[in-house]
Amino acid sequence: MLLVTAGRKIRRGLRNETVETETIDAVGMKTVLYIDDDPTVVTVARMALQMRGFNVLTARDGLEGFEVFRDAGNDIDAIVMDECMPRMRGVGCLKAIRELDPDIGALLVSGNITESVRLEANNAGISGFLDKPYQIDDLIKEIHRVLAAA
C-alpha cells in the first residue's frame, strides 16, 4: 500500500510489512481547476492531483469552468482544460477567464490540438499544451512549470 502525502513521510503496515511513502511537495497546497467533459478523465486527474497534495476543483464544460473560476478565482492557482467540450470550448473558456484574471496559468489538453487552435490559444495567453492521452507525471510536471512561472 502506497500512501502519498504532501511534504511528509508516513509509515503504514500492510500484512506485516512496512512501506514508506514517497514525499511529494505540491508547492504549498495549490488549487487546480480541472475542466473536462469526460467524467472518467476528471475523476482520475482529480484523484492523482489530490494524492500529490493539490486541492482540486472540477467543471464539466467550459461554461461551468468559467462559472467556477468566477466564483472562486482568487483561490485558484492554475487551470487545466480540455479543448473540445460542449457549451464552451477550452479556448473560449480561457478567453472569458482572462477577462477576470489575465495572469492565471492555464494548460490546454486535447487529443488533437490543431495549429489553428494552438495559435488561437497562444493569442489568448495559454501557458502550455498537453496532448491526450498523457501520463499523470507529465501533467504534474506541466502544472509545476505553470505555477513556477506565475
- Structural domains in the chain, CATH included, are 26-149 (3.40.50.2300)
Q: Distance between CA 138 and CA 140 in Å, rounded?
A: 5
pTM of the entire predicted model: 0.81
Q: Distance between CA 35 and CA 121 in Å, rounded?
A: 16
Q: What percent of the chain has pLDDT over 70?
A: 81
Helices 39-51, 136-149: crossing angle, 10 deg rounding:
70
More confident residue, 1 or 144: 144
- 50-104 per-position pLDDT tens digit: 999 999 999 999 999 999 999 997 899 999 999 999 999 999 999 999 999 999 9
Neighbours of 100 (CB within 10 A): 12
